[in-house]
Amino acid sequence: METNIYEFDKGIYGFEDYRRYDIFSPFDNSAFQMMEAEKDRKIGFVLVPPNYVTQEYTIDVEEEDLLEIGANGLDDVVVLAIVSFTQEENIMSVNLKSPIILSMTSRKGKQIILDQSHYSTRHLVEVKT
């Protein structure tokens, strides 16, 4: 299984002390990935490309954020959204308002907040199995 460590200089919101994450694809369904804190594997998130759960997900990534993760242009950036599983069967909640951006070349990441966007932190989606 391929594993990759990404550095999050500021952690992610609410988890500022966790700065190194292993992001890998343990699932058959390759769209979904796992992101686990290197120092505590219990701190884990399921990630999905936003376009997998919504049509026409377009965001403005600011120059400052690209600089911060050392991205070499937009082609170098991967955007992923954090998935939360709800009490209801087959319904997952996807945070489209504050996605994770990753630079493939610098192996750095950041969670950004799209303050002015209409995207929700709880975009509900039916799980297709």
Q: Which residues bind another protein (CB under 8 A)?
A: 1, 12-15, 25-29, 32, 42-46, 62-64, 82-86, 90, 93, 95, 97-98, 111, 113, 115, 121-122, 127, 129
User: What is the rounded CA–CA span in Å between residue 51 and residue 79?
Assistant: 9
Q: Tell the smallest beta-carbon distance from residue 70 to another protein (Å).
A: 16
| Cβ nearer to another protein, comparing 83 with 101 | 83
Residue with smaller CB distance to another protein, 4 or 85: 85
At residue 63, φ and ψ (nearest 5 deg) are: -50, -45
Whole-number minimum distance, CB 106 to another protein, in Å?
19
Task: Identify whether the C-beta of residue 9 lies closer than 8 Å to the C-beta of residue 19.
Answer: yes
Tell the burial category of 70 from Cβ atoms under 10 Å away from its Cβ (0-12, 13-18, 19+): middle
